[in-house]
């Protein structure tokens, strides 16, 4: 029997959800795939242990965030460009929101972006977010505060009263 069978089933079942998280973190489809593949290479090494006494999906999500944050420590040889990548245009409001959000997320720090993705996309609690990020709940609260404050400046149209509620 193939000893990677369980890992294979896991990836095939969860790949789309994982790549969406990766995409929200990095904001680029190709980098998202790179990030996910890099993380899965680590996950497969831990697979027997994860199956025995862990939660593979939570571990993978945590690894995605950690890897994403740690990428800032790598050399970044890319050339900054004044022109934005081409994206499809849609006149509908939702599409405009996505454009605004994409640009705003790109201006956040990596930890702030990770907090936003975990709290508002993954719908994790502050305690769960703290566990994923390996920090205290207080740090999650402060990171969320700073991230939302930054988003409020960058994309005020996206921030309504409900989001403000999270600050309190």
**Of 103 and 136, CB closest to another protein:** 103
**Of 121 and 136, CB closest to another protein:** 121
The minimum distance between CB 25 and another protein, in angstroms, equals 10
**Of 23 and 141, CB closest to another protein:** 23
Question: Are 124 and 115 a contacting pair, CB within 8 Å?
Answer: no
Within residues 32-71, the interface with another protein by CB under 8 A covers 32-34, 36-38, 40-45
Kindly give, in sequence order, each residue whose CB lies less than 8 Å from that of residue 47, ignoring residues fewer than 6 positions away: 4, 6, 7, 56
**Of 52 and 79, CB closest to another protein:** 79
What are the angstrom distances between the C-alpha of 39 and each of 19, 43, 120, 149?
A: 11, 6, 22, 31
Q: Is 14 exposed, middle or buried (0-12, 13-18, 19+ CB in 10 A)?
A: middle
DSSP 158: G
Q: Is the alpha carbon torsion for 88, 89, 90, 94 positive or negative?
A: positive
Which among 24-32, 62-70, 106-114, 135-143 is the span making contact with another protein, rule CB under 8 A?
24-32
Which among 15-23, 51-59, 128-136, 137-145 is the span making contact with another protein, rule CB under 8 A?
15-23
Total Cβ atoms within 10 A of residue 33: 15
Total Cβ atoms within 10 A of residue 98: 14
Within residues 98-157, the interface with another protein by CB under 8 A covers 98, 100-102, 105, 116-117, 120-121, 151, 157
**Of 29 and 138, CB closest to another protein:** 29
| DSSP helix, strand, coil percent of the chain (3-state; round to 5) | 75, 0, 25
The minimum distance between CB 112 and another protein, in angstroms, equals 13
Q: Which residues bind another protein (CB under 8 A)?
A: 4, 7-8, 11-12, 15-16, 19-24, 28-34, 36-38, 40-45, 74, 76-79, 81, 94-95, 97-98, 100-102, 105, 116-117, 120-121, 151, 157-160, 162-163
């Amino acid at each position: 029997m193939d000893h990677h069978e369980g890992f294979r089933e896991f990836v095939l079942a969860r790949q789309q959800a994982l790549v969406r998280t990766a995409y929200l973190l990095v904001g680029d489809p190709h980098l998202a795939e790179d990030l996910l593949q890099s993380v899965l290479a680590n996950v497969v090494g831990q697979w027997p242990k994860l199956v025995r006494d862990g939660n593979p999906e939570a571990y993978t999500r945590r690894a995605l965030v950690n890897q994403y944050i740690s990428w800032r420590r790598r050399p970044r040889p890319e050339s900054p460009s004044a022109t934005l990548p081409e994206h499809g245009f849609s006149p509908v409001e939702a599409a405009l929101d996505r454009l605004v959000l994409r640009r705003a997320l790109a201006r956040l720090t990596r930890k702030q972006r990770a907090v936003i993705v975990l709290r508002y996309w993954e719908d994790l609690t502050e305690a769960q977010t703290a566990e994923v990020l390996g920090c205290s709940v207080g740090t999650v609260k402060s990171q969320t505060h700073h991230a939302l404050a930054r988003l409020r400046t960058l994309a005020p149209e996206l921030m309504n009263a409900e989001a403000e509620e999270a600050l309190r």
